[in-house]
Amino acid sequence: MAVLNVGIIGTGIFARERHVPSYEALGDKFKVKACFNRHKEKALAFAEFAHIDPSKVYDNAEELIKDPEIDLIDVLVPNQFNLEFVQLAAKHNKPILLEKPVAATVAQTKEIVNIAKHCDQPIGISENWLYLEAGKVLKKHLKQIGPIVSFTYNSTGPFVSKNKYATAWRAKPEHIGGFLSDGGVHQLALLTDVLGPVASVSALTKQVRQESGTDDIVYSTVKMEDGDNVFGTFTYGSAFGATDKWTVFKIYGENGSVFLNLSNKGAPVLTLNVGPNAETFEIKNENITFTENESFGVTDEFSNMYEAIVAKDKTLVKGTPAVCGHHLLIVAAFLESSKQNGSNVAVEKL
């Protein structure tokens, strides 16, 4: 089995705490070989941590991308810079992974999607929520409760005043929606993976915390593209006062319901009810337990990218710029709807 050499651009917290461990867990597939950070001392410290030879610590990102020994570029930088690195990867014919959201703006997202369409190499977005066991378990039981009628998705929690990910670029976001897109796209990834694309939204957004830099909560009604007029509610925000943290997703059908509680990532549970009415239950409150892996989908997304690169088939990538770009365009529609006092806004197509 071929081992792919990885060059990491952006050597911050998530690169250290999640990407390197996942690559090491997949040691038969990947080796972290090179790195770049605009602050050389940070790159050197990361190299020591990740066991990278100092000769592979680059002063220039394009030199890393050009390195013939590097098989995959993994980019973890503020997403307003993603387009620049996609252009360089395409120029030098290299596969590339980008942290979500796809880009900072709708225009940049469209450019990245266009490059991905015309580029031979895989371009992937590191959206780990596309690889969760929760999505697979939900989809497995949809036929039992269908046809699908509606849903409720709620991911809310208290403001964390000492958040290690509250970096300067997040406090003054250039990407649309700030924390709404930074964290909200995870939730939208799970929603759309299970129920398909979003057609339109009616939303209200608001900034609760000055530290967020922009609007940080959204309450919305959402209409889906698939199914017979399927609609539901989507609520997201971690800017509230003291409260429990919730991630719950309930789907209602004509023949039952499924209720996912992912609030405790270490002990998720799905509750299944099957039957056409209150008097007739074929299955009542069956709790289906399952586990998410320790990386919460990151290792699986890397394995998916490996498969696409080795097979030389970019269509194998699950988290494509088009798929994940849709999540960002939903956030853009939330913001536009809120500007119009909650009017219905169609989600732009890619």
Q: CB neighbours of 189 closer than 8 A, spacing ≥ 6?
A: 127, 129, 130, 324, 327
Tens-digit pLDDT profile for residues 139-180: 999 999 999 999 999 999 999 987 665 566 566 677 888 889
Three-state secondary-structure class, residue 8: strand
CATH fold of 4-127+296-319 reads Rossmann fold (3.40.50)
Go through 229-263 and write b for each residue having 16 or more CB atoms within 10 A of its CB, e for each that does not: ebbbebbbbbbeeeeeeebebbbbbebbbbbbbbb
Tens-digit pLDDT profile for residues 43-89: 999 999 999 999 999 999 999 999 999 999 999 999 999 999 999 99
Q: Domain map of the chain by residue range?
A: 4-127+296-319, 130-293+329-346
Of 244, 247, 184, nearest in space to 214 by CA: 184
Of 182, 198, 190, nearest in space to 133 by CA: 190
Please compute Rg for the chain using Cα positions: 21
The domain covering 130-293+329-346 belongs, at the CATH homologous superfamily level, to: Dihydrodipicolinate Reductase; domain 2 (3.30.360.10)
Tens-digit pLDDT profile for residues 276-299: 999 999 999 999 999 999 999 999
Q: Which amino acid is at 183?
A: G
Residue 8 has pLDDT above 60, yes or no: yes
Burial of 96 (0-12, 13-18, 19+ CB in 10 A): buried
Q: CB neighbours of 293 closer than 8 A, spacing ≥ 6?
A: 133, 299, 300
CA geometry: angle at 215 spanning 342 and 332, to 5°?
60
Residue 38 has pLDDT above 80, yes or no: yes
